[in-house]
Structure 1
Amino acid sequence: MLLKLFLLALLLERTSSWVASDESNDLAVVEQGDLNWVNFKQHALHLNHSLFQKAKNKFKPCKTIKVNKNPRLGNFVTVQKAINSLPVINLCRVVIFISAGTYREKVEIPTTMAYITMIGAGADNTVIEWDDTADRMGQSGRPLGTYASATFAVNSPYFIAKNITFKNKAPLPPSGALGKQAVAFRISADTAAFTGCKFI
Protein backbone atom coordinates (compact mmCIF):
# COMPACT_ATOMS: atom_id res chain seq x y z
CA MET A 1 0.00 0.00 0.00
CA LEU A 2 2.82 2.42 0.87
CA LEU A 3 4.49 1.64 -2.45
CA LYS A 4 1.27 2.51 -4.31
CA LEU A 5 0.96 5.82 -2.47
CA PHE A 6 4.60 6.64 -3.19
CA LEU A 7 4.18 5.90 -6.89
CA LEU A 8 1.04 8.03 -7.04
CA ALA A 9 2.77 10.95 -5.29
CA LEU A 10 5.72 10.66 -7.66
CA LEU A 11 3.43 10.63 -10.68
CA LEU A 12 1.51 13.70 -9.50
CA GLU A 13 4.75 15.56 -8.82
CA ARG A 14 5.93 14.92 -12.36
CA THR A 15 2.65 15.82 -14.03
CA SER A 16 2.26 19.10 -12.12
CA SER A 17 5.07 20.71 -14.13
CA TRP A 18 3.78 19.99 -17.62
CA VAL A 19 4.22 23.33 -19.31
CA ALA A 20 6.93 23.45 -21.98
CA SER A 21 7.85 26.16 -24.43
CA ASP A 22 7.89 23.98 -27.53
CA GLU A 23 4.46 22.79 -28.65
CA SER A 24 5.68 19.45 -29.98
CA ASN A 25 7.34 18.76 -26.64
CA ASP A 26 4.12 19.78 -24.89
CA LEU A 27 2.12 17.23 -26.85
CA ALA A 28 4.66 14.47 -26.30
CA VAL A 29 4.68 15.10 -22.56
CA VAL A 30 0.88 15.29 -22.41
CA GLU A 31 0.45 12.06 -24.32
CA GLN A 32 3.07 10.12 -22.37
CA GLY A 33 2.03 11.52 -19.01
CA ASP A 34 -1.62 10.69 -19.50
CA LEU A 35 -0.76 7.22 -20.70
CA ASN A 36 1.43 6.69 -17.63
CA TRP A 37 -1.47 7.77 -15.41
CA VAL A 38 -3.88 5.30 -17.01
CA ASN A 39 -1.32 2.49 -16.92
CA PHE A 40 -0.74 3.19 -13.24
CA LYS A 41 -4.47 3.04 -12.54
CA GLN A 42 -4.81 -0.19 -14.48
CA HIS A 43 -1.86 -2.12 -13.13
CA ALA A 44 -0.86 -0.73 -9.74
CA LEU A 45 -4.44 -0.34 -8.56
CA HIS A 46 -5.81 -3.28 -10.59
CA LEU A 47 -8.49 -1.19 -12.30
CA ASN A 48 -8.99 -3.08 -15.53
CA HIS A 49 -12.29 -1.48 -16.45
CA SER A 50 -13.15 -1.21 -20.16
CA LEU A 51 -13.34 2.59 -19.81
CA PHE A 52 -9.59 2.72 -19.18
CA GLN A 53 -8.93 0.61 -22.27
CA LYS A 54 -11.03 2.99 -24.35
CA ALA A 55 -9.32 6.05 -22.88
CA LYS A 56 -5.88 4.70 -23.79
CA ASN A 57 -6.77 4.96 -27.46
CA LYS A 58 -7.54 8.68 -27.22
CA PHE A 59 -4.40 10.22 -25.73
CA LYS A 60 -2.64 11.23 -28.93
CA PRO A 61 -3.90 14.77 -29.62
CA CYS A 62 -5.47 15.40 -33.01
CA LYS A 63 -5.70 19.16 -32.46
CA THR A 64 -4.26 21.89 -30.25
CA ILE A 65 -5.81 25.25 -29.46
CA LYS A 66 -4.26 28.24 -27.69
CA VAL A 67 -6.31 30.59 -25.53
CA ASN A 68 -4.69 33.93 -24.76
CA LYS A 69 -6.18 37.23 -23.62
CA ASN A 70 -4.04 38.84 -26.32
CA PRO A 71 -5.71 37.86 -29.64
CA ARG A 72 -2.38 38.06 -31.47
CA LEU A 73 -0.89 35.32 -29.30
CA GLY A 74 -3.66 32.73 -29.37
CA ASN A 75 -6.48 31.25 -31.40
CA PHE A 76 -9.18 32.51 -29.01
CA VAL A 77 -9.42 35.02 -26.18
CA THR A 78 -11.95 33.04 -24.10
CA VAL A 79 -12.12 29.41 -23.03
CA GLN A 80 -15.76 29.02 -24.06
CA LYS A 81 -15.06 30.20 -27.61
CA ALA A 82 -12.28 27.62 -27.87
CA ILE A 83 -14.71 24.90 -26.79
CA ASN A 84 -17.40 26.16 -29.17
CA SER A 85 -14.96 25.81 -32.07
CA LEU A 86 -14.91 22.01 -31.69
CA PRO A 87 -17.22 19.65 -33.58
CA VAL A 88 -20.54 19.08 -31.84
CA ILE A 89 -19.56 15.42 -31.56
CA ASN A 90 -15.86 15.33 -30.75
CA LEU A 91 -14.16 11.93 -31.05
CA CYS A 92 -10.46 12.72 -30.65
CA ARG A 93 -8.22 14.21 -27.97
CA VAL A 94 -8.08 18.01 -28.18
CA VAL A 95 -5.54 19.90 -26.07
CA ILE A 96 -6.39 23.50 -25.12
CA PHE A 97 -3.47 25.50 -23.75
CA ILE A 98 -4.68 28.42 -21.61
CA SER A 99 -2.13 31.18 -21.09
CA ALA A 100 -1.64 33.00 -17.81
CA GLY A 101 -4.43 35.37 -16.88
CA THR A 102 -7.80 35.62 -15.17
CA TYR A 103 -10.58 34.54 -17.50
CA ARG A 104 -13.83 35.94 -16.17
CA GLU A 105 -16.39 33.72 -17.85
CA LYS A 106 -18.85 30.93 -17.25
CA VAL A 107 -17.80 27.79 -19.12
CA GLU A 108 -19.69 24.64 -20.04
CA ILE A 109 -18.57 21.60 -22.03
CA PRO A 110 -21.52 19.80 -23.69
CA THR A 111 -22.15 16.08 -23.32
CA THR A 112 -20.97 15.22 -26.84
CA MET A 113 -17.59 16.99 -26.65
CA ALA A 114 -15.47 14.27 -25.08
CA TYR A 115 -11.67 13.94 -24.89
CA ILE A 116 -10.82 17.54 -23.99
CA THR A 117 -7.60 18.36 -22.15
CA MET A 118 -7.04 21.83 -20.70
CA ILE A 119 -3.58 22.91 -19.58
CA GLY A 120 -2.96 26.19 -17.80
CA ALA A 121 0.23 28.07 -17.00
CA GLY A 122 0.02 27.09 -13.33
CA ALA A 123 -2.86 27.17 -10.88
CA ASP A 124 -1.65 30.51 -9.50
CA ASN A 125 -1.39 31.98 -12.99
CA THR A 126 -4.38 30.66 -14.96
CA VAL A 127 -7.72 31.33 -13.28
CA ILE A 128 -11.25 30.81 -14.63
CA GLU A 129 -13.80 32.63 -12.48
CA TRP A 130 -17.43 33.72 -12.32
CA ASP A 131 -19.77 34.71 -9.49
CA ASP A 132 -23.16 33.01 -9.93
CA THR A 133 -25.17 31.92 -6.90
CA ALA A 134 -28.14 29.58 -6.59
CA ASP A 135 -30.61 32.45 -6.16
CA ARG A 136 -29.43 34.44 -9.20
CA MET A 137 -32.04 34.66 -11.94
CA GLY A 138 -31.23 32.70 -15.09
CA GLN A 139 -32.33 33.32 -18.67
CA SER A 140 -35.55 31.44 -17.98
CA GLY A 141 -36.52 33.98 -15.35
CA ARG A 142 -36.09 31.42 -12.57
CA PRO A 143 -33.29 31.08 -10.00
CA LEU A 144 -30.31 29.13 -11.33
CA GLY A 145 -30.18 26.70 -8.42
CA THR A 146 -27.03 25.16 -7.01
CA TYR A 147 -26.44 22.92 -10.04
CA ALA A 148 -26.39 25.76 -12.57
CA SER A 149 -24.37 28.14 -10.39
CA ALA A 150 -21.11 26.42 -11.37
CA THR A 151 -18.41 28.57 -12.93
CA PHE A 152 -17.10 25.62 -14.94
CA ALA A 153 -19.27 22.65 -15.90
CA VAL A 154 -18.14 19.43 -17.60
CA ASN A 155 -20.81 17.14 -19.04
CA SER A 156 -18.60 14.96 -21.26
CA PRO A 157 -16.33 12.01 -20.41
CA TYR A 158 -12.53 11.74 -20.57
CA PHE A 159 -11.92 15.34 -19.47
CA ILE A 160 -8.45 16.28 -18.18
CA ALA A 161 -7.44 19.55 -16.49
CA LYS A 162 -3.95 20.55 -15.41
CA ASN A 163 -2.52 23.60 -13.66
CA ILE A 164 -5.72 25.70 -13.57
CA THR A 165 -7.74 27.36 -10.79
CA PHE A 166 -11.52 27.11 -11.05
CA LYS A 167 -13.17 29.76 -8.91
CA ASN A 168 -16.59 31.02 -7.94
CA LYS A 169 -16.04 34.60 -6.85
CA ALA A 170 -19.44 35.12 -5.23
CA PRO A 171 -19.06 37.06 -1.95
CA LEU A 172 -19.30 35.24 1.35
CA PRO A 173 -22.99 35.37 2.38
CA PRO A 174 -24.16 36.54 5.80
CA SER A 175 -25.00 33.91 8.37
CA GLY A 176 -28.37 32.27 7.74
CA ALA A 177 -28.74 33.55 4.17
CA LEU A 178 -30.65 31.30 1.77
CA GLY A 179 -29.94 30.55 -1.88
CA LYS A 180 -26.31 31.65 -1.75
CA GLN A 181 -24.73 28.36 -2.77
CA ALA A 182 -21.91 29.09 -5.22
CA VAL A 183 -20.22 26.22 -7.09
CA ALA A 184 -16.77 26.58 -8.62
CA PHE A 185 -16.69 23.34 -10.62
CA ARG A 186 -19.30 20.75 -11.55
CA ILE A 187 -18.67 17.49 -13.39
CA SER A 188 -21.45 15.22 -14.60
CA ALA A 189 -19.39 12.62 -16.46
CA ASP A 190 -17.02 9.70 -15.92
CA THR A 191 -13.30 9.17 -16.37
CA ALA A 192 -11.86 12.60 -15.60
CA ALA A 193 -8.45 13.55 -14.21
CA PHE A 194 -7.13 16.67 -12.48
CA THR A 195 -3.52 17.49 -11.66
CA GLY A 196 -2.13 20.69 -10.20
CA CYS A 197 -5.58 22.32 -10.07
CA LYS A 198 -7.31 24.43 -7.42
CA PHE A 199 -11.04 24.71 -6.72
CA ILE A 200 -12.08 27.83 -4.82
Structure 2
Amino acid sequence: MTNVLILGAGGQIARWVVDGAAGDPSITQTLLVRDPARLRSRPAGARVVTGDVRDTEALSATMAGQDLVYANLTGDDMGEQARSVIAAMHASGVKRLIFVLALGIYDEVPGAFGAWNRQAIGSALVTFREAADAIGASDLAYTLVRPAWLDDADEVDYELTEKGEPFKGTVVSRKSVADLILTIILDPTLHVGSSLGIDKPGSEGDRPSFM
Protein backbone atom coordinates (compact mmCIF):
# COMPACT_ATOMS: atom_id res chain seq x y z
CA MET A 1 0.00 0.00 0.00
CA THR A 2 1.30 3.44 -1.00
CA ASN A 3 0.01 6.48 0.86
CA VAL A 4 0.04 9.50 -1.44
CA LEU A 5 -0.59 13.12 -0.44
CA ILE A 6 -1.71 15.31 -3.35
CA LEU A 7 -1.23 19.05 -2.83
CA GLY A 8 -3.51 21.17 -4.99
CA ALA A 9 -5.73 18.17 -5.68
CA GLY A 10 -8.35 20.31 -7.41
CA GLY A 11 -5.94 21.30 -10.19
CA GLN A 12 -6.57 20.20 -13.76
CA ILE A 13 -3.61 17.77 -13.94
CA ALA A 14 -4.22 16.52 -10.42
CA ARG A 15 -7.81 15.60 -11.31
CA TRP A 16 -6.52 13.07 -13.83
CA VAL A 17 -4.09 11.70 -11.23
CA VAL A 18 -6.82 11.42 -8.59
CA ASP A 19 -9.13 9.57 -10.98
CA GLY A 20 -6.34 7.28 -12.20
CA ALA A 21 -5.13 6.42 -8.71
CA ALA A 22 -8.69 5.72 -7.60
CA GLY A 23 -8.70 2.61 -9.77
CA ASP A 24 -5.64 1.13 -8.06
CA PRO A 25 -6.32 -0.57 -4.70
CA SER A 26 -2.62 -0.28 -3.78
CA ILE A 27 -2.86 3.53 -3.51
CA THR A 28 -4.45 5.45 -0.65
CA GLN A 29 -4.97 9.14 -1.38
CA THR A 30 -5.03 12.20 0.84
CA LEU A 31 -6.24 15.24 -1.11
CA LEU A 32 -5.25 18.69 0.15
CA VAL A 33 -7.22 21.60 -1.32
CA ARG A 34 -7.96 25.19 -0.40
CA ASP A 35 -11.54 24.79 -1.58
CA PRO A 36 -13.10 21.29 -1.48
CA ALA A 37 -15.71 22.44 -4.00
CA ARG A 38 -12.98 22.38 -6.67
CA LEU A 39 -12.61 18.61 -6.42
CA ARG A 40 -14.11 16.96 -9.49
CA SER A 41 -14.47 13.66 -7.66
CA ARG A 42 -13.84 12.18 -4.23
CA PRO A 43 -12.73 8.57 -4.62
CA ALA A 44 -13.93 6.07 -2.06
CA GLY A 45 -11.41 5.84 0.74
CA ALA A 46 -9.71 9.15 -0.08
CA ARG A 47 -9.23 11.63 2.73
CA VAL A 48 -9.92 15.28 1.92
CA VAL A 49 -8.08 17.98 3.87
CA THR A 50 -8.73 21.70 3.55
CA GLY A 51 -5.54 23.70 3.99
CA ASP A 52 -2.78 25.90 2.61
CA VAL A 53 0.70 24.54 1.87
CA ARG A 54 2.21 27.71 3.34
CA ASP A 55 0.98 26.62 6.79
CA THR A 56 4.02 24.45 7.40
CA GLU A 57 2.96 23.12 10.79
CA ALA A 58 -0.46 21.98 9.56
CA LEU A 59 1.09 20.58 6.40
CA SER A 60 3.55 18.55 8.47
CA ALA A 61 0.68 17.01 10.40
CA THR A 62 -1.11 16.12 7.17
CA MET A 63 2.06 14.52 5.80
CA ALA A 64 2.45 12.16 8.77
CA GLY A 65 2.34 8.58 7.54
CA GLN A 66 2.59 9.45 3.84
CA ASP A 67 4.97 7.65 1.49
CA LEU A 68 4.98 10.18 -1.35
CA VAL A 69 3.95 13.81 -1.91
CA TYR A 70 2.78 15.07 -5.29
CA ALA A 71 2.54 18.86 -5.53
CA ASN A 72 0.34 20.44 -8.20
CA LEU A 73 0.60 24.08 -7.10
CA THR A 74 0.53 27.49 -8.71
CA GLY A 75 0.85 31.13 -7.70
CA ASP A 76 3.29 34.02 -7.67
CA ASP A 77 5.07 32.65 -4.58
CA MET A 78 6.13 29.20 -5.73
CA GLY A 79 9.47 29.55 -4.00
CA GLU A 80 7.76 30.14 -0.67
CA GLN A 81 5.37 27.26 -1.26
CA ALA A 82 8.23 24.92 -2.18
CA ARG A 83 10.21 25.84 0.92
CA SER A 84 7.17 25.13 3.10
CA VAL A 85 6.71 21.74 1.43
CA ILE A 86 10.39 20.92 1.97
CA ALA A 87 10.24 21.93 5.64
CA ALA A 88 7.07 19.91 6.21
CA MET A 89 8.61 16.86 4.56
CA HIS A 90 11.67 17.13 6.78
CA ALA A 91 9.49 17.48 9.86
CA SER A 92 7.33 14.49 8.95
CA GLY A 93 10.13 12.28 7.65
CA VAL A 94 8.73 11.93 4.12
CA LYS A 95 11.34 11.83 1.36
CA ARG A 96 9.68 11.23 -2.02
CA LEU A 97 8.38 14.29 -3.86
CA ILE A 98 6.92 14.92 -7.31
CA PHE A 99 6.61 18.66 -8.02
CA VAL A 100 5.10 20.17 -11.17
CA LEU A 101 6.70 23.39 -12.43
CA ALA A 102 6.86 24.98 -15.90
CA LEU A 103 8.86 24.81 -19.09
CA GLY A 104 11.49 27.48 -19.60
CA ILE A 105 12.82 27.78 -16.05
CA TYR A 106 16.35 26.85 -17.21
CA ASP A 107 16.11 28.84 -20.46
CA GLU A 108 16.00 25.40 -22.08
CA VAL A 109 13.39 26.18 -24.73
CA PRO A 110 15.20 26.97 -28.00
CA GLY A 111 14.37 29.09 -31.01
CA ALA A 112 11.26 31.07 -31.79
CA PHE A 113 9.13 29.06 -29.38
CA GLY A 114 11.54 29.81 -26.57
CA ALA A 115 11.36 33.53 -27.32
CA TRP A 116 7.55 33.37 -27.48
CA ASN A 117 7.38 31.39 -24.22
CA ARG A 118 9.59 33.90 -22.40
CA GLN A 119 7.38 36.74 -23.59
CA ALA A 120 4.21 34.88 -22.60
CA ILE A 121 5.16 33.63 -19.11
CA GLY A 122 8.55 35.16 -18.39
CA SER A 123 7.37 36.96 -15.28
CA ALA A 124 6.26 33.64 -13.73
CA LEU A 125 9.47 31.78 -14.53
CA VAL A 126 11.45 33.48 -11.78
CA THR A 127 9.32 32.08 -8.96
CA PHE A 128 9.11 28.63 -10.62
CA ARG A 129 12.91 28.59 -10.91
CA GLU A 130 13.15 29.61 -7.25
CA ALA A 131 11.06 26.57 -6.35
CA ALA A 132 13.17 24.29 -8.54
CA ASP A 133 16.41 25.54 -6.99
CA ALA A 134 15.10 25.08 -3.44
CA ILE A 135 13.98 21.52 -4.14
CA GLY A 136 17.16 20.69 -6.02
CA ALA A 137 19.28 21.88 -3.08
CA SER A 138 17.33 19.74 -0.62
CA ASP A 139 18.05 16.15 0.41
CA LEU A 140 14.66 14.95 -0.82
CA ALA A 141 14.16 12.20 -3.39
CA TYR A 142 12.49 14.54 -5.85
CA THR A 143 11.25 14.53 -9.42
CA LEU A 144 10.50 17.88 -11.06
CA VAL A 145 8.07 17.90 -14.00
CA ARG A 146 8.16 20.73 -16.58
CA PRO A 147 5.20 20.41 -18.96
CA ALA A 148 4.83 22.08 -22.32
CA TRP A 149 1.72 24.20 -22.82
CA LEU A 150 -1.21 22.12 -21.66
CA ASP A 151 -4.33 21.06 -23.51
CA ASP A 152 -7.31 18.86 -22.65
CA ALA A 153 -6.85 16.22 -25.36
CA ASP A 154 -8.04 12.82 -24.17
CA GLU A 155 -4.76 11.11 -25.05
CA VAL A 156 -1.56 9.81 -23.55
CA ASP A 157 1.26 10.70 -25.93
CA TYR A 158 4.49 12.17 -24.62
CA GLU A 159 8.26 12.23 -24.64
CA LEU A 160 10.68 13.33 -21.94
CA THR A 161 13.79 15.49 -21.85
CA GLU A 162 16.20 15.86 -18.95
CA LYS A 163 17.58 19.04 -17.43
CA GLY A 164 20.38 20.27 -19.67
CA GLU A 165 18.69 19.03 -22.85
CA PRO A 166 16.76 21.35 -25.19
CA PHE A 167 13.00 21.24 -24.73
CA LYS A 168 11.26 19.79 -27.79
CA GLY A 169 7.54 20.23 -28.49
CA THR A 170 5.13 23.03 -27.70
CA VAL A 171 2.12 21.21 -26.21
CA VAL A 172 1.19 18.18 -24.12
CA SER A 173 -2.09 16.89 -22.74
CA ARG A 174 -2.88 17.11 -19.05
CA LYS A 175 -3.76 13.42 -19.25
CA SER A 176 -0.21 12.69 -20.48
CA VAL A 177 1.37 14.58 -17.58
CA ALA A 178 -0.90 12.71 -15.19
CA ASP A 179 0.20 9.41 -16.74
CA LEU A 180 3.85 10.25 -16.03
CA ILE A 181 3.00 11.15 -12.45
CA LEU A 182 0.99 7.97 -11.92
CA THR A 183 3.84 5.92 -13.37
CA ILE A 184 6.20 7.41 -10.79
CA ILE A 185 3.69 6.91 -7.97
CA LEU A 186 3.47 3.21 -8.89
CA ASP A 187 7.29 2.93 -9.05
CA PRO A 188 8.84 5.67 -6.88
CA THR A 189 12.35 4.54 -7.84
CA LEU A 190 11.86 6.09 -11.29
CA HIS A 191 13.36 9.48 -12.19
CA VAL A 192 14.72 10.28 -8.72
CA GLY A 193 16.75 13.49 -8.85
CA SER A 194 15.48 14.34 -12.34
CA SER A 195 13.95 17.49 -13.77
CA LEU A 196 11.85 16.23 -16.68
CA GLY A 197 10.54 18.23 -19.61
CA ILE A 198 7.41 16.62 -21.06
CA ASP A 199 5.87 17.35 -24.46
CA LYS A 200 3.90 15.68 -27.23
CA PRO A 201 6.17 14.25 -29.94
CA GLY A 202 5.89 16.10 -33.23
CA SER A 203 4.39 19.25 -31.70
CA GLU A 204 7.37 21.47 -32.48
CA GLY A 205 6.56 24.97 -33.71
CA ASP A 206 6.88 28.66 -33.05
CA ARG A 207 4.04 28.56 -30.51
CA PRO A 208 1.36 26.15 -29.27
CA SER A 209 -1.10 25.13 -31.96
CA PHE A 210 -4.07 26.47 -29.99
CA MET A 211 -2.61 29.98 -29.60
TM-score, length-normalised on structure 1? Answer: 0.33
Higher helix share: 2
- Of structures 1 and 2, the larger Rg is shown by 1
Query: TM-score normalized by structure 2?
Result: 0.32
Tell me: higher relative CO, structure 1 or 2? Use CA pairs within 8 A at least 6 residues apart: 2
